[in-house]
Chain A
Amino acid sequence: MSDSPPAPRTDKPAGKQVDLLAALKEAALAAAVAFALFALLIGVRTEQGPTGALVIATRFGMLSAFVAAAFAGRFVFAVMRHRLAIPASLFAPPAVKKIAAALSPYLALVILIIALIVPVLFYRNHYVLDLAILIVTYIMLGFGLNIVVGLAGLLDLGYVAFYAVGAYSYALIAQDFGLSFWACLPLAGIFAAFAGLLLGFPVLRLRGDYLAIVTLGFGEIIRLVLLNWQNLTGGPNGISGIARPSFFGLPFNSSANGFAATFGLQYSPTHRVVFLYYLILALALVTNWVTLRLRRLPIGRAWEALREDEIACRALGINTTTTKLTAFAMGAMFGGFAGAFFATRQGFISPESFTFSESALVLAIVVLGGMGSQLGVALAATIMLGGFELFREFDQYRMLVFGAAMVAIVIYRPRGLVAARSPSVAMRERKAIPADIVRNARTESPA
């Protein structure tokens, strides 16, 4: 709140008296805020009265306890602040930093190797394999959204729409035309890319917050269409019995021409899970490869230039319309691939899987990862979804922990985990560009 920057630690004890007064003020303010917040939340409660009607009961004791706790906590914090100022080296001692710096060039490789051997390590642990599939799915979604938000700087809050379009495209085509997963996958991508263009056209002139609002609406429109177009999508009942993926035509079942029988293995349902894991990992790696490649092509540089300054782009002869539309379409296409995978993995989809909270989660992954950084997205998805699972036992409190973690990240790493931008081309040496120079989807273009 009204935190003044911590005073230098060389403060003389003479200043202590004044500090106490300031601390009291601060604590009183915190108590007032706590009172305003909890007066109705905790102080008042509706209970069933003797006649069965609701009566209002008051809990002033508990309320005052909360307010007192806020007062005391803030007071102690304010008094101890100088002594509490923790040196940064405590979090990252020089030795740790040194190791991190030495490892960082190989970090991507290490992560890749770990990702590749996950099914070997956890072959018997279905729970971990399912979680890994979920994480990689979100990494893939993050990569896709990263093109739109991180590179082109177009804040998209309706990304789940493309995920949904991909999933429903796959489900409907596979069911109605009996095409295999591998035939449907590109079609799902194309349909999603088309949806991206559809969204792109009306929002060409929008940026920042305004764009976010329209894309948010677009996401909801798609969901409502899926919910209400009963004949095609089955409405709230969704689509069930979606074809499961096969290993290039060999189904994962115990039949004589199944995957296990063909390779002379004993049938196990784990085969399918492992296959699904490698399938989504391959899709994510392809997405990553394409994105890294695009960044070094004129189209990728035009996306980044668009993020930096749209007017300058136009003055240089860059067609900003097609540049934006390709960004939307490309991001949507990868979302569509992920959607098709989701549909084949679940075997059942309904509009409930494609709510705004999915968009928010993917966007949080991109923002937390550091907009534009592929490695950051992979780390952020792992931390967020892994964290969700880790705190599953805490049930209703995990959102609290999650919220606190987000606040901490916003304070300590406001630009994301991997904040620096790596240049796409260099004459002599590739120097990372500090994040405070790079624009992002939230900063408006200079007037």
Chain B
Amino acid sequence: MSAAPVLRVEHLTMRFGGLAAVSDLSFNARKREITALIGPNGAGKTTLFNCITGFYKPTVGRLLLTHADGNTFLLERLPEFRIAKDARVARTFQNVRLFAGMTVLENLIVAQHNKLMAASGFTVLGLFGSRSYARSEAGAIDKARYWLDRVGLTDRADDPAGALPYGAQRRLEIARAMCTDPVLLCLDEPAAGLNNRESAELNGFLRATRDEHGISILLIEHDMGVVMEISDRIVVLDYGIKIADGVPSEVRNDPSVIAAYLGVSEEEALTPQAKQM
């Protein structure tokens, strides 16, 4: 497995007024690896995701994304739709955000908007029913069919996304993100609300997706079972500060991580800054 980083987070700080949700955070997410971000509630994980995907502009810091062909992108300088379109970072949301009133298939077609938009000659050719656009649309449906098959939703293709059960909605959101051909896939609590069987399936699916499509995954998760099982590396945040970074076995036994999760008595408590050393 190559160890080159796909995403370098360098000295990232995000302040909201006086509150530093993320402060001076640096870590690398490596190519073709699953990097998990964990930490107690309010540790700044989702804030970090919002910085990476452009929904927030970081106060300080650099986010460097490198494609396989060597192209680099400074994500903090791009508007959010360019991050998805050009830098090819896809994301899902903590509270599922599907196009509820559109069918499952339509959700996956919308995800291929930019490719289809170009194929439709920015609407002009498509309006007059060009053959090349019809071909591209058929291709988009094929791709949607592939991902529906992968997440087991082929039977529900023509149902409205809002009518799916919760677990299926989560899977559909991941499939929709994959339809954008991402280099980096950011998943915000993909296993939340899933039962044991479903989260085991999710683990298998994420691993297979990483291996077969050569993508890197950044994952926020509270379910330690999922995290320890599928992550190649784990970054632990607490109060916006990185307190540990390593392979699962290292992180599991790190005293500062245990302290952050279980709490410590006042005497042995060190300030998080001191722990970071």
Chain A contacts to B: CB under 8 angstroms: 290, 293-294, 297-299, 301-302, 304-305, 307-309, 311-320, 326, 421, 423-431, 433-434, 437-439, 446
B95 cross-chain contacts in A, Cβ below 8 A: 446
B158-202 interface code vs A (CB 8 A; 1 in, 0 out) = 111011000000000000110010000000000000000000000
A315 cross-chain contacts in B, Cβ below 8 A: 53, 55, 80, 84, 90-91, 93, 97, 177
The CA-CA distance from A421 to B162 in the complex, in Å, is: 13
A433 cross-chain contacts in B, Cβ below 8 A: 101-103, 160
Do A308 and B99 touch across chains, with their CB atoms under 8 A apart? yes
Do A317 and B85 touch across chains, with their CB atoms under 8 A apart? yes
Which A-B residue pairs are the 6 nearest by beta carbons? A438-B101, A317-B84, A317-B85, A308-B99, A312-B97, A298-B116
The CA-CA distance from A297 to B123 in the complex, in Å, is: 7
B260 at the interface (CB under 8 A from A): no
B111 cross-chain contacts in A, Cβ below 8 A: 316
| A-B pairs with beta carbons under 8 A, tally | 139
Do B97 and A309 touch across chains, with their CB atoms under 8 A apart? yes
Do B102 and A304 touch across chains, with their CB atoms under 8 A apart? yes
Do B110 and A437 touch across chains, with their CB atoms under 8 A apart? no
Cβ contact of B99, chosen from A297, A299, A304, A314, cutoff 8 A: A304
Chain B contacts to A: CB under 8 angstroms: 53-55, 80-85, 90-91, 93, 95, 97-103, 105-106, 109-111, 113-114, 116-117, 120, 123, 126-127, 133, 137, 141, 145, 157-160, 162-163, 176-177, 180
The CA-CA distance from A309 to B161 in the complex, in Å, is: 12
Cβ contact of A302, chosen from B90, B98, B113, cutoff 8 A: B113
B102 cross-chain contacts in A, Cβ below 8 A: 301, 304-305, 308, 423-424, 433
Distance (whole angstroms) from the CB of A325 to the closest CB of chain B = 13
A311 cross-chain contacts in B, Cβ below 8 A: 55, 93, 97
State whether A437 and B127 are in contact (beta carbons under 8 Å apart), knowing that A298-B113, A298-B116, A425-B106 are contacts in the complex. Answer: no
Highest count of chain B CB atoms <10 Å: which of A320, A433, A438, A439: A433
B176 cross-chain contacts in A, Cβ below 8 A: 316
A431 cross-chain contacts in B, Cβ below 8 A: 103, 158-159
Q: List 26 A-B contacts (CB under 8 A).
A: A297-B126, A298-B113, A298-B117, A299-B123, A301-B102, A301-B109, A305-B110, A309-B98, A309-B99, A311-B93, A312-B93, A312-B97, A313-B110, A315-B177, A317-B82, A318-B114, A320-B81, A423-B102, A423-B158, A425-B109, A426-B105, A431-B103, A437-B100, A437-B101, A439-B100, A446-B97
